[in-house]
Amino acid sequence: MNRLYELPAWRAAEQIRCGELSAEEYVAHLLDRIGEVEPRVRAFITLLDRENLLGQARLIDKRVKAGEKLGRLAGIPIAVKDNICTLGVRTTCASRMLENYVPPYDATVVERLKAEDAILLGKTNMDEFAMGTSTETSYFGPTRNPWNLERVPGGSSGGSAAAVASGMTPLALGSDTGGSIRCPASFCGVVGLKPTYGLVSRYGLVAYANSLEQIGPITFNVRDCSLLLSIIAGRDPKDATTINAEESYEASGGSLKGFRIGLVRELLGEGTHPAVLEAVHRFAGKLEEAGAELGEVSLPILEYALPAYYIIAMSEASSNLARYDGIRYGFRAEGEGLDWSREFSLTRSLGFGEEVKRRIILGTYALSAGYFDRFFLKAVKAATLIRRSLLEAFKNYTLLLAPTMPIPPFKLGEKIRDPLALYLCDVDTVPVNLAGVPAISLPAGFHEGLPLGAQLIGPPLGEQTLLKAAASYEEVSPESFRRPPI
């Protein structure tokens, strides 16, 4: 049976550019795979028209035959999380509030993908406004984990991770505010990279918490991850927070001699499932097998990471989502005899889901008079101390190692009515966002047929080092990089 969907993106692009593989054949194969799998997984909110996609692929094939030079992603379909703006293609943030919003421009990352001749496949499902850990808060319904359709795929970029894992697309973009790339990468058994803050432009990313979020790649293998990062990274005059940095990354693999890897003690403690602990230690053993030296590092300040993160994120969400008022754009509740204030209140009450409203209310409270100093200011100070603590650890260790998620993928509906239980799932991922440093989640084994993940954490702009270690791990642990039997 032809299984082109298992072909790595970098190899497929090479074959398309040299005429060995037809872009039309490749895209048609992936669309057939979507037709087979998507009704069960529900990874997409919007899929582009089949004839439109095949037409773009035919143009690529014509350019190949004409001898034109094509981009690094020539003919490769890519799925984009539905909070990243796409010209002429609706961008809903999985919310009723933006159900029919069609942006008049592309996000910078989408522009860069198109400049490399990638083909936009569709927009993936997510937690509403990226607020969640399970992709269950979507207005369009939950995405299911392709390893077990009764389990969550993680969130908030659950649609992107599920689409990659199940072979519907070789590449996807997600966004990571407190773990939203790494969590679904862990739960779906794929690779997810959260870049250094400022490395990738946020222009065109619908804002949730500006000081924390970054767009990043979700792929099936490390080399595809490095390729996608190379394309989307770099300075953007439209985003003043972006930085000049290395814009070409390689997944070179090989020996890790000279690498010192520190296991973070505080992220391996209470609340971590025994199977996850076993997987992380097995992961560490594989790195040691590749030549790395292992150690343990203690970062007591991480005790404050989760409360600091949620105060900062909810406060910024409260401010950012104030623009959705039913007047300028988006959903609007209309009724006879409603004055402006009642219409505004009704619009937001009906337009936002429960979790988004909860975060807006809590964030508004934290920013209110008398509480700003007690909550928000203290949270920002804690974030500064967490960053300093991590930077100090990198003086002795090349990279840090921790679980991505403290538990295996849980059942749909199991935690959705218990917000605190969901927030606690983010305990291992949020320190990275507070510190603005990069981290990559990699498949680390299985428990009862469900994927487990481990994350490597690097110093600021340490993406090349992360990718080197990730590629070395992939070489010595190929059994962890498997497709679900869907």
Residues involved in catalysis: 81, 156, 180
> 191-194 and 439-447: which strand pairing?
antiparallel
Cα 181 from Cα 455, distance rounded (Å): 11
Cα 54 from Cα 51, distance rounded (Å): 5
Query: Position of tokens 């990354």?
Result: 249
> How many residues comprise the chain?
486
Count of other CB atoms within 10 angstroms of residue 307: 15
Q: Cα dihedral sign for 37, 43, 45, 51? A: negative
Q: Cα-flanking dihedrals φ and ψ of residue 220, to 5°?
A: -90, -20
Apex 139 CA angle, 133 and 144, nearest 5: 50
Cα 342 from Cα 360, distance rounded (Å): 18
Where would I find the H helices in 251-353? 274-289, 305-320, 340-351
Across the strands, what pairs with 171? 78, 219
Distance of CA 320 to the CA centre of its chain: 20
Across the strands, what pairs with 441? 192, 455
DSSP secondary structure letter of residue 354 = H
How large is the angle between the packed helices 50-65 and 23-41, nearest 10 degrees? 160
Give the CA dihedral 397, 400, 401, 402, nearest 10 degrees. Answer: 140
Across the strands, what pairs with 89? 86
Q: Cα-flanking dihedrals φ and ψ of residue 45, to 5°?
A: -95, -45
Apex 178 CA angle, 172 and 180, nearest 5: 25
- Cβ within 8 Å of residue 19, ≥6 positions away: 64, 65
> 260-264 and 399-403: which strand pairing?
parallel
Where would I find the H helices in 290-396? 305-320, 340-351, 354-367, 378-393
> 293-297 and 439-447: which strand pairing?
unpaired
Cα 302 from Cα 432, distance rounded (Å): 10
Query: Position of tokens 């795979």?
Result: 33
Cα 65 from Cα 45, distance rounded (Å): 34
CA distances from 452 to 75, 96, 125, 189, 263 (A): 32, 33, 22, 7, 17
